[in-house]
Structure 1
Amino acid sequence: MKRQGIFPGVLLVGVGLIFLLQNYNIPYINYIFTWPSILLIIGLAFLFQAYIGKDYHSIFTGILLVGLGIHFHGLQLFSFWPDHWAMFTIIIGVAFLFRYSKTKKDGLIPGVILLIVSLVSFMYIEFIDLFGSLFTYVENFWPVALIGAGIYLLFFKK
């Protein structure tokens, strides 16, 4: 049985905590409670709804928002945090895999593909050094492979 009051309850508690803690002028609190914190709170509300309320379709949205919140906080707070487009595909791939792990339905193949694309893009220079001319040939055709995989999933996999 799905419990419907979890999402708004967690959302209100989280936003209330932000406003309460901002009233006390705690040092460094302004670095933490910025707009990515709102993404984190909304994402956590979706995850609570997913796991406690047994509404497993909320897992994808929750992981996506929590991942984006962590990523944008990481960009603001840490100089070593990667500012690379592949971070978004990693977050989306992990969200697909979390949803698949609970529902055992769609999400495994797109999640794995997105993680592989992310890892290849992060290690692009190392892959070129390792595979040399083969990778140079393949790099021109990998978008076609992604389009083909998408068409297969859309039209042929039922």
Structure 2
Amino acid sequence: MKKKSYLSGVTLIGFGIYFLFQQYHFSLFDGFYTWPTLLIIVGLGFLVNGYIGKDFESILPGVILSGLGLHFHIANKFDTWPDLSGVFLLLIALGILLTYVKTGAHLFLGLLFLALATLLLFFDRLLYWAHNHGQTLSNISQFWPYIFIILGAYFLFVKKAK
């Protein structure tokens, strides 16, 4: 039985409402007539397709796209909002974990991305804490790329899919 896709319909309706509000200068959404809002609309289309259309593979791109849209809206409003790399890994982790809830697959991968995102988001605070306790962790930041490459190679060449 073929699944019904909601992606196109929801995305087009969302774009239509977006452009309609923009055309009639709907003042409630003045700060939202930007490209991050379009990312949110497409992301919501993927999420509807993932949950209502039961195409669980759509959950990950839905979380990433809508999350990036929200990130760019929030980052423009708050100077203290975290940088993109940690937020992006957090969105990937959230998307994988939400997909895991529906499929039961890739829990370890979701937790791994969550751990890496947490380290990236709080690395400055970890450095500050270590410095206050007489330790230096600044050399660790040089090894981040290698850690990602080694983990990626492990998942590509060593770990076997179930």
Task: Provide the TM-score with structure 1 as the length reference.
Answer: 0.82
Query: Are 1:155 and 2:153 an aligned pair?
Result: no
Aligned ranges for residues 46-57 of structure 1 at < 5 Å?
46-57=46-57
Contact 2:82 2:121 in 1 (8 A): no
After superposition, the CA RMSD in angstroms is 2.4
Q: Decide whether aligned partners of structure 1 residues 40 and 84 sit closer, same or farther in structure 2, where only a CA change above 3 A counts.
A: closer
Q: How many residues align?
A: 157
CA distance in 1, matches of 2:76, 2:139: 38
Amino acid at match of 1:14: G
Report the CA distance between 1:57 and its aligned residue.
0.7
Aligned ranges for residues 43-82 of structure 1 at < 5 Å?
43-82=43-82
User: 122, 145, 148: which one pairs with 1:146?
Assistant: 148
Q: Decide whether aligned partners of structure 1 residues 124 and 100 sit closer, same or farther in structure 2, where only a CA change above 3 A counts.
A: same
| CA deviation profile, 1:34-87 (whole Å, cap 9, x unmatched) | 111111111111111111111111111111111111111112233443334211
What's the counterpart of residue 16 of structure 2?
16
Greater displacement, 146-155 / 88-97: 146-155
Aligned ranges for residues 29-48 of structure 1 at < 5 Å?
29-48=29-48
| CA deviation profile, 1:13-42 (whole Å, cap 9, x unmatched) | 111111221232222533112111111111
Contact 1:2 1:55 in 2 (8 A): no
CA distance in 2, matches of 1:153, 1:60: 18
| CA deviation profile, 1:106-128 (whole Å, cap 9, x unmatched) | 3x333222222222222223323
Contact 2:83 2:121 in 1 (8 A): no
Q: Percent identity, aligned pairs only?
A: 38
Amino acid at match of 1:19: F
